[in-house]
Each structure stands twice: as C-alpha cells, then as structure tokens.
Amino acid sequence: MYFSTGSFLPDTRYDAWHDAIGQAYRTTTGAGNFQASLDLRQLGALNCARISQNSEELIRSTKEIDRWGTDECFLITQVAGRSHIEQDGRIVSLDVGDVTLVDSALPCRFRFDGRNVQLCFHIPKDSFKHGELDLRPRLATKPPQARRRILAELMRLSFEEGAGADSQTGRILSAAIKDMAMAAWRDPADGAREGAVRAAASRFEIIQDYILANLHDETLTPPAIALAHSISERQLHRLFHVSGHTVCGWLRQVRLDRCAANLRDRRQASRSITEIALHHDFGDSGQFSRLFRETYGVAPRTYRSQALASERGKH
C-alpha cells in the first residue's frame, strides 16, 4: 500500500496523514507545506514501511499505545535526513545508515531535523526472547558501527528487492533480518551474565504474579511484598528499578489498566466511574481522574464513552 499527501490540498494534508498512520502517533508540524508519504510492504511475516515526512516530531504516548498492540518492536534505519528518538530515559541520534530499536509498548518521541526518510520493520518481541536477548537495555541505542551498517544495508535491500518477492524469499530475508538484529546488539559478555539475568527476571515475574493475585489486599505495600519473598525492601525496589518502574508506580499502573478495562466493558456500563475506581483501591475520585487523564490522555468519562461508541460501531 502506498499513500502520499501530495494528492491532497495543503490545508487537509495533516488530517489525511494522521488518518493514514492510524492515529498510532501524534504528529507535530511546523509552518509551511506539510508533506509525507507511507509505503507499506510485506516481507515474509514481517510488516515493513518506508516513511518520508517533514514533521517536526512524532509522539507515541500511553493513549496511542492503548489503541494498538504492544507485542512488537520497531527496527528503524535512517535513510535520509537526521532524527532523534527518545525512549525509556535514553535519546539516540540517527544519521543516514544508523539503526535503533523502539518498543511498541513504551512511550517514545521522534524529533526530526527537516525532511527525513526512515525504514521501519515490525519485529515480534518473542524473536528476542527466543534469542535470549534482553530487549530493554537496547532500546534507543545503536549497535557497533560495522554491525549497524550491515544491518541497515540488509534492511534497505530487503525492502527494495525482497518485499513482494516469492514467499520463500520473503521468509529467508525476514529470518535474516531478525537474526542480524539480535547479532548486532549482542554483547560478547552476555553469556557470562545470562544466569544472573534469568534469575532476576524469574524472581521479578514471581513477585509480579504475587502482586496481581493480592491486588485488593489493603496490606499490599513494599515492605509486605519484600517480606513475603524473603528479600530486603531495597532489593525489591532494585528489581523494579531495573525494569524501568517503581513498586508503587507499577501497582498504580496495574490498577489503572484494570479500571480502563472495566470502562471499556459494555457489560459494566451501568457501574459508575466512582464505583469502579473504589473497587480498584482509588479512594479519592479526584486523584483517580487526574491519574487516569495523565495516563490515557482523556478523562475517565470521555474514555468510557469513546470506547463504548467504538464497540457499538463494530456490531
């Protein structure tokens, strides 16, 4: 599929572009003539796109993330221009031939120095798990120069020559890109650290499962959680810090996510927003509304009405 704003009147191009990218990002444009194009292709089981635009920035917040799946990472190479990508507390600048990774499940910001072109390949995150590569520390980073140049060239040639080729060629090229992406970011010392990383990850998952199972327990506090798992409170906070969260922040996010799920559920349309908030341990309705708006970009009432209207439109 190919889309270009060139066929639209100048004052309608931004809205047309926003619709074309499926509202997966918020776009900021400067003064002047906005131009953008999107070339979507299929390479084996991978979706890939060539994106050309003169936007000032793209923002993917929790609001946009909530509308879309979170089981992919974006493998991006800079084809023309220069960009700066921010995610998970890091900022990476991309020149032509540079490559980086972005997680679809985490907020991110793209800033552009004038007109630019990027290739983006959607890689299932399970590919990195199967390759025993910890994705999170690699987000918004660049692999060593020689590796990223090879990967960027493989992405370019695969997009230009491989997309649309026979299915066997597509499968071979998509597998090569996934393998090369893992090889590009692999640290030679990873093997020595693998046991410790797996043990910490396993403990973290056990603690998360415990929290989810006891979410409505009023005594569920960091000291109580640490005691239940025979670790110090400091160790508990360190485990969550490595994953990019705080204990209380993660607890709050889980409860907000469950409130959002209840608000989207037409079977619970008769329940008041206050009742749902209280059920998930938000005792202050004003604070709940503020936290919900900060996370999802709209008030709980607006979120519910939009979600239920969208659900009705599907039937």
Instruction: List pLDDT tens digits, range 74-83.
Output: 999 999 999 9
Confidence check: pLDDT of 164 > 90? no
pLDDT tens sequence across 10-29: 888 878 887 777 566 777 76
Percent of the chain with pLDDT over 90: 37
At 192 the pLDDT is: 46
Q: What's the whole-number mean pLDDT along residues 44-68? A: 85
Of 3-7, 54-58, 79-83, 197-201, the least confident: 197-201
Q: Which of 143, 1, 121 is nearest to 72 (CA)?
A: 121
Domains and CATH numbers, the chain: 2-186 (2.60.120.10), 193-313 (1.10.10.60)
Q: 95 vs 20, 148, 230, CA distance in Å?
A: 26, 11, 48
Question: CA-to-CA distance for 81 and 114, rounded, in angstroms?
Answer: 7
Query: How many other C-beta atoms lie within 10 A of the C-beta of residue 162?
Result: 24
Confidence check: pLDDT of 280 > 60? yes
Of 102-106, 166-170, 308-312, the least confident: 308-312
Q: What average pLDDT does the chain have?
A: 85
Confidence check: pLDDT of 130 > 70? no
pTM over 0.85: no
Identify which of 73-87, 165-179, 197-211, 233-247 has the greatest average pLDDT.
Answer: 73-87
Q: Which residue has the higher pLDDT, 94 or 60?
A: 94
Sequence-distant (6+) residues with CB within 8 A of 305 are none
At 170 the pLDDT is: 83
Q: Which residue has the higher pLDDT, 40 or 23?
A: 40
At 194 the pLDDT is: 53
Q: What's the whole-number mean pLDDT along residues 100-127? A: 90
Confidence check: pLDDT of 217 > 90? no
> What does the CA dihedral 246, 248, 250, 253 come to, rounded to 10 degrees?
-140
At 153 the pLDDT is: 95
Q: What's the whole-number mean pLDDT along residues 36-40? A: 90
At 293 the pLDDT is: 92
Of 30-44, 191-205, 218-232, 281-295, the least confident: 191-205
Q: Which of 125, 97, 136, 122 is nearest to 174 (CA)?
A: 122
Q: Are 68 and 188 in contact (CB under 8 A)?
A: no
Q: What's the whole-number mean pLDDT along residues 53-57? A: 86
Confidence check: pLDDT of 31 > 70? no
